A = this chain, B = another copy of it.
Amino acid sequence: MPTMKEVASRAGVSLKSVSRVVNGHPNTSAEVREKVERAIAELGWRPNTHARSLRTGRTGLIALSVPDLRTSSASHLAQALVSEAERQGLRVAIEPSHGRAERVRRTLDACGASFDAVVHVGALPAGIDPASLDPAHPVVLVRAAESLEQAWADAPPEAAADGPARDAADEPAGNAAGATGGSRTPRDGAAAASLDSVDTDSDASARAVHHHLRTVGRSRVVILGREAGAADGFTRALSRAFADAPVLRPSHTADRAAGRELAAQALAAAPASDALVCAEDELAIGALSLLHERGIAVPGRIAVTGHGNIDDGQFTTPTLTTIDLGLPSLARHVVEQVRARLDGDRSPARRIVLRARILRRESTLGLGGIGPTGAVGGAAGIDPDLGPGSGSGPSPAPDPAAAADRGPEEAPWLG
């Protein structure tokens, strides 16, 4: 491997000139630049990342701290983040925490040594004080599909406004915060006060679900939430949007097995309910599986909604109405925020709130649909079979069993 020194001597210039050309510094003559570039090409020189790291203290590596990569929401977020990081010349290492604070702590501690920054999904574990973190090694919180966190405090606006920890709230994708109305004020939880974060507006999402379900005539709602604890921001947003709805939470992780269990509990506790609103697609898919097993028509008797828009939701029967988080945009903001901090931005913690959108699918609309109820997802191929004309999807032969269910499907919530 040739070094810069060899490049320099071959080009007949000094080491520093090579460095200047390589790093694109402004004050270099075209002549020198050309000589250096030729020498680099001839020698096949490539920068030594190790030496560069030693010098700059940077690795170009971002850690993604996530509880479990195997969940769809985590792997989707990871893929989005990796793609975006690569676009911006960074790499991503995965650090699964298995939900244990000590693992998160270790990842955070390794920042500066192995990573330039940590992107942490969800809230910081309770035992970790954000003030103890070195500001030179940025930590960005992401509160999205995997774990929405206390995003909007329940405190009255004046109290929130008085608080010293009030952050700048940006709304890059439409003025989300403004649109939430005046009754609540954005305020970060204590753990997030001094940390950057990119969140989705969980209240707006919850209200979108609420509005949609009203549109399709559902009012007796049971919420299947996330486990109590750090990651239940959207769950609480749901319980605000559906003021009287009971909330069932899994004891551990919000996976499909939990979705089955909770759905069974919901049926037992509220037999007359007409909608299961889930804080996580995985829960919703588990719930669908139980409802199917029990012969309960979806959405005929019970509508189901999810959150996260994982791919699987397009292949369930019925397809799953859900909240799409706009992961590419989310990832872009995360990486940009990381880069800004890395570039020396020392401004107070920035809070970016993105707005999700609802994808109306069969688990609330039914197979035939109920006609256009607004935008039905802009992404290509997400909702190919949800046009107003019914039955023109990729399922040419109607399912007799589904047809049997469809009778009661259209009546109750159109009346």
Contact = CB atoms under 8 A, between A and B. Distances in A.
Contacts of A59: 50
A295 B114 contact: no
A5 B79 CA distance: 42
Contact of A68 (B79, B285, B316): B79
A202 to B, nearest CB: 23
A293 B399 contact: yes
Interface string A38-82: 000000001111110110010111000000111010111011001
Interface stretch (A90-98, A233-241, A346-354): A90-98
A294 interface: yes
A284 B289 CA distance: 16
A61 B395 contact: no
Contact of A260 (B60, B311, B315, B397): B315
A15 interface: no
Contact of A61 (B61, B96, B405): B61
Contact of A317 (B255, B257, B293): B293
A316 B285 CA distance: 9
A190 interface: no
Nearest to A51: B54
Contact of A399 (B74, B260, B294, B315): B294
Interface in A296-350: 311-312, 314-317
A385 B69 CA distance: 26
A380 interface: no
Contacts of A61: 61, 93, 114
A292 B399 contact: yes
B256 A315 contact: yes
Interface in A247-261: 255-257, 260-261
B394 A114 contact: no
A152 B50 CA distance: 41
Contacts of A94: 78, 82, 92-94
A237 to B, nearest CB: 26
A113 interface: yes
A317 B298 CA distance: 15
Nearest to A393: B293
A138 interface: no
Contacts of A261: 394
Contact of A75 (B46, B75, B294, B397): B75
A83 interface: yes
Given A69-B78, A75-B78, A312-B312, 16 more contacts: A47-B113, A60-B114, A61-B61, A61-B93, A72-B72, A75-B75, A82-B96, A91-B95, A260-B315, A260-B394, A285-B315, A289-B315, A289-B317, A292-B399, A293-B397, A401-B404
Interface of A: 46-51, 53-54, 57, 59-61, 68-70, 72, 74-76, 78-79, 82-83, 91-96, 113-114, 255-257, 260-261, 285-286, 289-290, 292-295, 311-312, 314-317, 394-395, 397-402, 404-405
12 contacts: A49-B113, A50-B54, A69-B82, A74-B75, A91-B114, A256-B312, A257-B314, A260-B394, A261-B394, A289-B315, A289-B316, A293-B395
